[in-house]
Amino acid sequence: MNVDVLIVGAGTSGLVAGIASAKNYRGTVCVLERNPEPGCKFLLSGSGQCNVTHGGSITDFLNHYGDTKKARFVQPALLAFDNIAVTEFFEQRGVPILEREDGKIFPKSLKSEDLLKVLVAELRKQGGILQTETVVENITKTDNGFLLATNRGEFCTKKLILATGGQSYPSTGSRGDGFRFAERLGHHLIEPKPVLTPVIVRNYPFAGLSGISFWSSKIEVYRNGKRLKSGRGDILLTHRGLSGPGILDLSRDIEPDDELRISIIKPEEFTPEVFTGKKTLKNALQRFDIAERFLVQILDSFHIAPDQPATETNRETRKKIELALTCYPFIVERLGGWNEAMATGGGVVLDEVNRKTMESRIVPDLYFCGELLDIDGNTGGYNIQFALSSGFLAGNSLQHHS
Ligand SMILES: Cc1cc2nc3c(=O)[nH]c(=O)nc-3n(C[C@H](O)[C@H](O)[C@H](O)COP(=O)(O)OP(=O)(O)OC[C@H]3O[C@@H](n4cnc5c(N)ncnc54)[C@H](O)[C@@H]3O)c2cc1C
C-alpha cells in the first residue's frame, strides 16, 4: 500500500498527529496500530479518568519535564497546541472539561473513553485512515521515502511520523519498538528507563502501614552522601516502599542505593511547645496531622510509650522524634519496573530532532512525537499534554517540508 503520510502508533500522540496531518497535508494519511483498538494507554490514564492536562499558564509547564534543556525542547510544541487549545478542542466536540482545585484537568464525565472517541472521530472526519491490528516490524529508508514491513504486508510512504510511545505498561502496545526503529534509521538513544515509578525501600519498616499518606512533604535525594535533588509533594506508604506524586515525580533522578530523606513536617514546626500541656505524647504529636498508626510505630521503634505524658519526654527522646519527623532516611533498593512505571525516561536524543517541527535532523521526512522522545513529564497531566502537543506539531509541520 502506498500512502503520503504514515503514522506508526494510534496512541495519544499518533491520533493527534493523524488529525493534524490529515487536516493540513494534501494526500493520504494512514495511522497504523498494532492493537485491535486505538489509544489503549490513553484509556487507562489517570485510572481511566484521564488527567489530560493541567491548568495555569503554559509557560509554567516548562519546569515539569526535568531540566532546562527539556524545557527548551518542549516549548514550541506546547505553544503550538497548549492546555487551553486542548480543553477547547474537546469542549467544542461535545465533551465538557473540568479543572480540579489542584489544577489537574479531566473530562467532566471522568471517563477517558469520552476523550478518545473525540480523537478517533476527528481523525476519520479529517479523512485519516486508521488501520488496526497492524504491527510494524521493520522500517527502511528508501530513495523517495520509507518502506515499512508489517504483518499485513508492506507500506510505502513519503513522510513518516513515529508515535510508538515508550516502553512502560508494555501490555498497552508500547513495547519500545520505536526505539529500535529510530536507532536503525540512524538516531541515538538516551537509555530508556522506567520513570514515574514507585521506590522499593531496603529493610522497609512500614509494610504494615501501606495506604498512609503524608501531604506536601519535602523529599531529598542523596547519593554517596551528597544531596542531588529535592522536591516537595504528597507521599504514599506502600507495602514495599514509597509512592505518591512527590516520589513519582522525583523517580527520574533516583537510583538504587540512593538515600531519600523525608521531612513529614517542617523543622520549624517542631517547637518545645509540642511537649507542654496535659496530653499524652501520642496525642501531643497529633497536632502535626500525621496518622496515629505511623506515630505509634515510630515511638515503638524508639521504645517510647505512646501514652506517656508529653511533658515527661526527655531531650534525647525529643531529638529522636524530631529527626524521624523532619529527616526520615530510606535507602532505595530499586525502582518499580516497566509494568509499574507510568512513563519512560530517556528515548530519542533531543539534539537530533528539530524542536520547532519534530522532524529528524538526521533523516529528512521522518518525525517523532510523544514518549518516544527523551521527554518525560511529572504527574498532573504533563505527559498527555506533551504527547498531544508534539503530535499536533509533527502533523502540522509536514506541509512546510513537502
Ligand atoms: C497507568 C498510566 C496512567 C497514566 N496516567 C496519565 C495521566 O493521567 N496523565 C498524563 O498526562 N499521563 C498519564 N500517563 C502517561 C501517558 O499516558 C503517556 O505519556 C502518553 O499516553 C504517551 O503517548 P504516546 O503517543 O507517546 O504513546 P502511546 O499512547 O503509548 O501510543 C503508542 C502506540 O503505538 C502503538 N505501537 C507501538 N509499537 C507499534 C508497532 N510496532 N506497530 C504498530 N503500533 C505500534 C502502541 O500499541 C500504542 O497504541 C499514564 C501512563 C500510564 C501507564
Instruction: Convert the pLDDT of each residue in 375-396 to its tens digit.
Output: 999 999 999 999 999 999 999 9
pTM of the predicted model as reported, rounded to 2 decimal places:
0.95
How far apart CA 66 and CA 383 sit, in angstroms, is 12
If you ran DSSP here, which 8-state letter would residue 310 be given?
G
Comparing C-alpha atoms, which of 159, 223, 213 is closest to residue 359?
159
Distances 130 to 46, 115, 152, 289, 386 between C-alpha atoms, Å: 25, 17, 14, 52, 22
Please state whether 262 falls in left (phi above 0), alpha (psi between -120 and 50) or beta. beta
259-263 and 213-223 strand pairing: antiparallel
Mutate to test the pocket of ligand 1, among 45, 50, 113 (most ligand atoms within 8 A of CB): 45
User: Would you tell me which CATH number, out of the four given (3.50.50.60, 3.40.50.1110, 3.40.50.300, 3.30.450.40), belongs to the domain 2-194+337-401?
Assistant: 3.50.50.60
Amino acid 295 reads: L
pLDDT band per the 50, 70, 90 thresholds, residue 277: confident
Instruction: Return all residues near 68 (Cβ < 8 A) that are at least 6 apart.
Output: none
What is the distance, to the nearest Å, from the Cα of residue 298 to the centroid of all Cα atoms in its chain? 33
Question: 57 CA distance to ligand 1 centroid (A)?
Answer: 25
Mutate to test the pocket of ligand 1, among 342, 348, 388 (most ligand atoms within 8 A of CB): 342
Please indicate whether residue 280 or residue 400 has the higher confidence score (pLDDT). Answer: 280
Looking at 56-60, 274-278, 338-342, which range is the least confident one? 274-278
Give the model confidence (pLDDT) of 38-91 as tens digits.
Answer: 999 999 999 999 999 999 999 999 999 999 999 999 999 999 999 999 999 999
Q: Which atom of ligand 1 is nearest to the CA of 134?
A: 43
User: Looking at the predicted structure, is the pLDDT value of residue 289 above 50?
Assistant: yes
Are residues 119 and 95 in contact, defined by beta-carbon separation less than 8 angstroms?
A: no
Question: Which grid cell sits at 181?
Answer: 526503529
Across all residues in the chain, what is the average pLDDT? 96
pLDDT band per the 50, 70, 90 thresholds, residue 399: low
Residue closest via CA to ligand 1's atom 52 equals 342
Ordered by start, the domain boundaries in the chain are 2-194+337-401, 199-335
Angle between helices 83-91 and 112-125 (to 10 degrees): 80
Ligand 1 contact via 173 beta carbon (within 6 Å)? yes
